[in-house]
Amino acid sequence: MSGRYRQRPAGGDNSVKTPLQPKSVNSQNSIDRLVKPFKCPGSATPTRASEKPSRKRRKVNYANADGSVEDGEKPYTNDDRLALETREANKFPAYKPKDKEVAFRQRFQVPFLNKATGEYSSGRVAPTLGMRRGATFVVKPLHDPSGEFAIVLYDPTVDDVAEEPASKNPEAPTEDTPKLDEPIVHKSLADILGLKKNVEDRPKVPVVIDPRLSKVLRPHQVEGVKFLYRCVTGLVDKNANGCIMADGMGLGKTLQCIALMWTLLKQSSEAGKTTIQKCVIACPSSLVGNWANELVKWLGKDATTPFAIDGKATKAELITQIKQWAIASGRGIVRPVLIVSYETLRMYADTLNDTPIGLLLCDEGHRLKNKESLTWTALNQLNVTRRVILSGTPIQNDLSEYFALLHFANPNLLGSQAEFRKRFELPILRGRDAAGTDAEKKLGDERLQELSGIVNKFIIRRTNELLSKYLPIKYEHVVFCNMSEFQRGLYNHFIKSPEIQSLLRGKGSQPLKAIGILKKLCNHPDLLDLANDLPGCEHAFPRIIHPRFSGSR
Ligand X SMILES: Nc1ncnc2c1ncn2[C@@H]1O[C@H](COP(=O)(O)OP(=O)(O)OP(=O)(O)O)[C@@H](O)[C@H]1O
Residues 6+ apart with CB under 8 A from 255: 213, 216, 217, 221, 294, 298
**255 or 352: CB nearest ligand X:** 255
Query: Residue type for 485, please?
Result: E
**249, 334, 439, 531: which one binds ligand X (CB under 6 A):** 249
250 lies in the site for ligand X, by CB under 6 A: yes
Strand ranges in 60-176 using DSSP code E only, listed in sequence order: 113-114, 119-120, 152-154
Q: How far apart are the first and last CA of the chain?
A: 140
Of the listed pieces 253-261, 303-311, 322-330, 486-494, which binds ligand X according to CB under 6 A? 253-261
Instruction: Residue 210: name the closest of 274, 167, 260, 136 by CA.
Output: 260
Least distance from ligand X to the Cβ atom of residue 290, Å:
8
**65 or 471: CB nearest ligand X:** 471
205 lies in the site for ligand X, by CB under 6 A: no
Of the listed pieces 111-119, 246-254, 430-438, 498-506, which binds ligand X according to CB under 6 A? 246-254
**209, 232, 247, 267: which one binds ligand X (CB under 6 A):** 247
Site for ligand X in 324-383 (CB under 6 A): none
- The DSSP output letter for 204 is B
Q: What is the dihedral of CA 106, 108, 110, 116, to 10 degrees?
A: -40
Least distance from ligand X to the Cβ atom of residue 252, Å:
3
**214, 233, 254, 267: which one binds ligand X (CB under 6 A):** 254
Instruction: Residue 234: name the closest of 212, 259, 210, 264 by CA.
Output: 264
394 lies in the site for ligand X, by CB under 6 A: no
461 lies in the site for ligand X, by CB under 6 A: no
> How many residues in total does the chain contain?
553
244 lies in the site for ligand X, by CB under 6 A: no
What Cα–Cα distance (Å) separates residue 91 from each residue in 62, 83, 94, 378? 18, 11, 8, 77
**216 or 303: CB nearest ligand X:** 216
Say if CB 545 and CB 490 are below 8 A apart.
Answer: no
**338 or 390: CB nearest ligand X:** 390
**227 or 541: CB nearest ligand X:** 227
**216 or 319: CB nearest ligand X:** 216
**217, 259, 282, 459: which one binds ligand X (CB under 6 A):** 217
Least distance from ligand X to the Cβ atom of residue 281, Å:
12
Q: What is the dihedral of CA 460, 465, 469, 475, to 10 degrees?
A: 160
> What residue number has its CB nearest to ligand X?
252
Say if CB 407 and CB 371 are below 8 A apart.
Answer: yes
Residues that bind ligand X (rule: CB under 6 A) add up to a total of 13
Of the listed pieces 57-65, 177-185, 210-218, 335-343, which binds ligand X according to CB under 6 A? 210-218
214 lies in the site for ligand X, by CB under 6 A: no
Say if CB 243 and CB 228 are below 8 A apart.
Answer: yes
Say if CB 546 and CB 524 are below 8 A apart.
Answer: no
272 lies in the site for ligand X, by CB under 6 A: no
Neighbouring-strand partners of residue 337? 279
Q: Which residues bind ligand X (CB under 6 A)?
A: 216-218, 221, 247, 249-255, 392
